[in-house]
């Protein structure tokens, strides 16, 4: 029921004044207190990260130091930025995350639409294969994907049989193509397209629209929560990806922000002041993205969960 | 999760890499001759030279000198972390594109030499500088030299001199009985007498095993030797300390965080020689006031676990002469001293024992003076698999009710199975 309400536009606006007139019950107060405590617990690590990024190493190590920095050391940020080419890393992360997001939106929505709205032999099997792909642990796929990238025919000096060169290794192709479409996004889009009324599709057909235009002009604009959810999830996972970019790149010019941050994690322990400054900066794009799309994001998850 | 993930990837990688290297795969490349002129473009894979200082040191100072000496060699540096080094090497092997020059940990040479992933070096490299004999032991496999040491990290006991003085303790413990008694005596008011757990449990137990006269494997690396009473006693000692209340696994600190000895929450701790640099940055007053001392753990014999980073060359390098030249250059006293200073590590050359860096860093100085007591982990081709299993297998004996004997026996079975698969 809660999900149904979420789908009704404007429900939140009309019901809010009514809710305010209701007397506060003990249960509601308990709910607010619980949610406040949970929110506080969620925000504490973030606050700690920001405050630690402004402390000196001596202060971080001190037992007597309070939560707030004694001397607000903003130079941690400038020094962290000079420790490695973070502008290049951030640019690379942005290009990869944006590419993944766009490709996932286009191809996963097409696949989801086909699986939900087009009847064809084997569609059920293909859908179950997507579900099965969701169950495969990421780390079991790393090596096969690495080998596919390495032995990519006619790329990076390779011949037709993938021999002789380095394939896609240390190229944008290796960073972008393997993570471009996710089974989860296909699954999510299918669930949303399934929910759309068949009358909408039939009316479009009567008006003479072809399949692609029905998908692009009629149906896809109706699944905005799915588009926002996939955008946020894809961008977030791509922005935070560490292992794959580390494995397939060798040169600094192709390294990403998460790999760049590892420069502060030495074998003898992290340089906390720099690591937290760098992490704060790396977190900002995700926070901004979530603030912009949070309403649709919640809707997206709620709707997917209903199916 | 971390262990499962890494083990899984390592297992898949090892299988694929073995296939690739034995000719079943398609990625093997023909290696050239190391006797020709040093020229070409090569790649160096390194888990050290971290942060801005390390990068400047490597790319400007060390490689700057190398470029002057070998102007026809271009070196591309591939930085990684120790946490992901094995994955980088394993995937590189599987893809037949191993970097030309690799830096790896102590104990890693036999596994990669056995797979023929790395190439032997000329024996004359072993006598080019004044190495301690034990320093070069982890660089050898099957009697051949495969690597040269760049930096060493030793495991020693650091203690609070003020706590010792307050308790009237005049000398450092010479064996485990004394260590246990002193730890008990120093435990009071929430302070623990001894913290052995703030370093990796694997390396800590190994240090105690060696100090108890034990060994990990036979000389040929095919037989497990740590399952005897010496290995069990080493683990049992931790349980005894916990029973006394003078050690507490829950009070261990994370790498990089102020240690219990720094904060005064422990009077002694097992740590690495690199702690000196950490204290200098976080609690310089402790060094100024001469509050910290250090000694080498001893029971049946003194033992100091010797970890560190070695440099070796790929067996499939297309420019072996250039790769060999870089290996040699990274192990020169100048390069070693720079890397050691940057990381607070031990330079493993007698030539450098009188350098101002060594004399100023008392933990490094102590380590160099006791290199005769240094012992290394590894020694078997199955080490990469076994090393991942030591901590999770021994931990239940410390935090749970499992007996030390059962935990060691279980570890022995896992190690034998891993060796059997080689």
Q: Which residues of A216-251 are buried (b: 16+ CB within 10 A; e: fewer)?
A: bebbbeebebbbbbbbbbbbbbbbebebbbbbbbbe
Tokens linked to B314: 């790929």
Contact A250 B255 (CB under 8 A): no
Contact B282 A60 (CB under 8 A): yes
Query: Please, which residues 136-165 of chain B have a Cβ atom closer than 8 Å to chain A?
Result: 153
Angle (deg, nearest 10), helices B383-399 and B404-420: 170
- Domains of chain B: residue spans and CATH: 2-153+307-368 (3.40.190.10), 154-305+382-420 (3.40.190.10)
Distance CA A51, CA B413 (A): 48
Distance CA B316, CA B43 (A): 12
* Longest Cα separation, chain B: 68
Distance CA A296, CA A302 (A): 10
Tell whether A114 is covered by a domain: yes
Q: CATH no. for residue A193? A: 1.10.3720.10
Tell whether A242 is covered by a domain: yes
Q: Which residues of B touch A163 (CB under 8 A)?
A: 26
Tell me the pLDDT of chain B (422 aa) as tens digits.
Answer: 444 555 555 555 554 444 444 433 334 444 556 777 889 999 999 999 877 788 889 999 999 999 999 999 999 999 998 889 999 999 999 988 899 999 999 999 999 999 999 999 999 999 998 887 788 999 999 999 999 999 999 999 999 999 999 999 999 999 999 999 999 999 999 999 999 999 999 999 999 999 999 999 999 999 999 999 999 999 999 999 999 999 999 999 988 888 999 999 999 999 999 999 999 988 999 999 999 999 999 999 999 999 999 999 999 999 999 999 999 999 999 999 999 998 889 998 888 888 999 999 999 999 999 999 999 999 999 999 999 999 999 999 999 889 999 999 999 999 999 999 98
- Residues near A53 by Cβ (< 8 Å), separated by ≥ 6? A76, A77, A273, A276, A277, A279, A280
The band of A231, judged by pLDDT with boundaries at 50, 70 and 90, is very high
Residue B56: CB atoms within 10 Å: 14
Tokens linked to A169: 């290794």
Does residue B105 belong to the interface with chain A, where contact is any CB pair within 8 Å? no
Q: Are B318 and B31 in contact (CB under 8 A)?
A: yes
- Residue B73 pairs with which residues in a beta bridge? B40
Q: Is ipTM over 0.85?
A: no
Does residue B96 belong to the interface with chain A, where contact is any CB pair within 8 Å? yes
Sign of CA dihedral A52, A57, A62, A65: negative
> What was the pLDDT predicted at A249?
93
Tell whether A1 is covered by a domain: no
Tokens 């007698």 sit at which residue?
B350
Q: Which residues of A touch B9 (CB under 8 A)?
A: 139, 142-143
Encode pLDDT of A151-186 as tens digits.
999 999 999 999 989 999 999 999 999 989 999 999
Provide the number of structural domains found in chain A. 1
Tell whether A32 is covered by a domain: no
Tell whether A59 is covered by a domain: no
Contact A140 B99 (CB under 8 A): no
Contact A57 B281 (CB under 8 A): yes
Torsion of CA B92, B98, B102, B105, to 10 degrees: 40
Nearest CA in chain A to B263: A63
Tell whether A260 is covered by a domain: yes
Q: Which residues of A touch B283 (CB under 8 A)?
A: 58, 61
How many residue pairs from chains A and B have C-beta atoms closer than 8 A?
118
Encode pLDDT of A30-51 as tens digits.
999 999 999 999 999 999 999 9
Domain residue limits at A250: 82-306
Tell whether A166 is covered by a domain: yes
> What was the pLDDT predicted at A307?
42
Distance CA B44, CA B102 (A): 6
CA distance B4 to chain A (A): 10
Give the global pTM. Answer: 0.82
For B283, phi then psi, to 5°, come to: -135, 65
CA distance B289 to chain A (A): 16
Best B41, B63, B79, B83 member to test A by mutation, with max A CBs in 10 Å, is B79
Q: Are B146 and B118 in contact (CB under 8 A)?
A: yes
Contact A140 B8 (CB under 8 A): yes
């Amino acid at each position: 029921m809660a999900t149904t309400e979420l789908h009704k536009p404007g429900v939140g606006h009309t019901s809010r004044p009514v809710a305010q007139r209701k007397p506060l019950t003990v249960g509601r107060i308990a709910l607010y207190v619980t949610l406040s405590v949970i929110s506080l617990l969620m925000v504490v690590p973030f606050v700690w990260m920001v405050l630690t990024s402004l402390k000196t190493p001596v202060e971080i190590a001190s037992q007597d130091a309070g939560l707030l920095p004694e001397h607000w050391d903003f130079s941690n940020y400038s020094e962290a930025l000079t420790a490695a080419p973070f502008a290049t890393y951030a640019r690379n992360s942005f290009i990869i995350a944006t590419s993944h997001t766009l490709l996932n939106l286009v191809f996963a929505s097409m696949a989801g639409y086909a699986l939900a709205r087009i009847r064809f032999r084997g569609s059920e099997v293909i859908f179950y294969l997507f579900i099965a792909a969701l169950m495969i642990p990421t780390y079991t796929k790393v090596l096969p994907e690495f080998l596919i990238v390495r032995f990519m025919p006619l790329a990076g000096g390779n011949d037709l049989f993938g021999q002789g060169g380095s394939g896609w290794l240390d190229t944008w192709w290796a960073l972008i193509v393997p993570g471009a479409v996710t089974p989860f996004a296909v699954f999510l889009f299918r669930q949303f397209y399934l929910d759309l009324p068949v009358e909408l599709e039939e009316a479009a057909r009567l008006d003479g629209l072809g399949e692609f235009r029905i998908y692009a002009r009629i149906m896809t604009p109706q699944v905005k929560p799915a588009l926002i959810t996939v955008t946020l999830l894809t961008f977030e996972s791509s922005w935070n990806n560490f292992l794959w970019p580390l494995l397939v790149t060798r040169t600094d010019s192709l390294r990403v922000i998460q790999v760049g941050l590892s420069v502060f994690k030495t074998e003898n322990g992290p340089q906390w002041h720099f690591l937290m400054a760098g992490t704060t900066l790396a977190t900002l794009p995700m926070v901004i993205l979530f603030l912009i799309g949070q309403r649709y994001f919640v809707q997206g998850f709620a709707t997917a969960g209903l199916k | 999760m971390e262990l499962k993930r890494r083990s899984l990837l390592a297992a898949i990688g090892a299988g694929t890499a073995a296939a690739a290297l034995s000719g079943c795969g398609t990625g093997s490349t023909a290696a050239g001759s190391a006797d020709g002129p040093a020229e070409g473009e090569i790649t160096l894979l390194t888990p050290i030279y971290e942060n801005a200082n390390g990068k400047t040191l490597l790319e400007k100072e060390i490689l700057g000198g190398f470029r002057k000496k070998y102007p026809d060699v271009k070196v591309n540096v591939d930085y990684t972390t120790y946490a992901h080094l094995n994955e980088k090497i394993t995937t590189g092997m599987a893809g037949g594109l191993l970097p030309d020059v690799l830096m790896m940990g102590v104990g890693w040479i036999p596994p990669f030499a056995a797979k023929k992933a790395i190439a032997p070096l000329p024996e004359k490299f072993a006598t080019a500088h004044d190495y301690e004999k034990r320093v070069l032991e982890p660089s050898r496999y099957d009697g051949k030299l495969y690597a040269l040491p760049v930096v060493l990290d030793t495991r020693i006991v650091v203690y609070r001199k003020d706590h010792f003085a307050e308790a009237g303790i005049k000398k450092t413990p010479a064996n485990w009985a004394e260590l246990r008694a002193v730890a008990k005596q120093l435990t009071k008011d929430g302070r623990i007498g001894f913290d052995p757990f703030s370093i990796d449990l694997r390396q800590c137990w190994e240090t105690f095993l060696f100090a108890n006269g034990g060994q990990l494997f036979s000389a040929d690396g095919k037989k497990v030797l740590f399952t005897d009473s010496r290995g069990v006693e080493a683990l049992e000692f931790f349980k005894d300390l916990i029973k006394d209340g003078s050690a507490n696994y829950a009070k261990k600190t994370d790498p990089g965080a102020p240690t219990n000895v720094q904060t005064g929450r422990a009077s002694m701790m097992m740590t690495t020689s690199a702690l000196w640099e950490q204290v200098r940055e976080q609690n310089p007053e402790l060094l100024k006031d001469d509050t910290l001392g250090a000694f080498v753990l001893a029971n049946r014999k003194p033992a100091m676990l010797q970890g560190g980073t070695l440099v070796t060359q790929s067996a499939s390098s297309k420019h072996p002469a250039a790769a060999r030249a870089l290996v040699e250059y990274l192990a020169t006293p100048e390069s070693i001293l720079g890397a050691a200073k940057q990381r607070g590590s031990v330079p493993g050359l007698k030539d450098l024992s009188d350098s101002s860096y060594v004399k100023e860093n008392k933990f490094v100085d102590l380590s160099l003076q006791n290199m005769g007591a240094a012992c290394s982990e590894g020694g078997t081709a199955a080490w990469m698999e076994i090393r991942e299993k030591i901590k999770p297998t021994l931990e239940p004996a410390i935090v749970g009710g499992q007996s030390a004997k059962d935990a060691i026996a279980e570890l022995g079975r896992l190690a034998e199975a891993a060796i059997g698969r080689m």
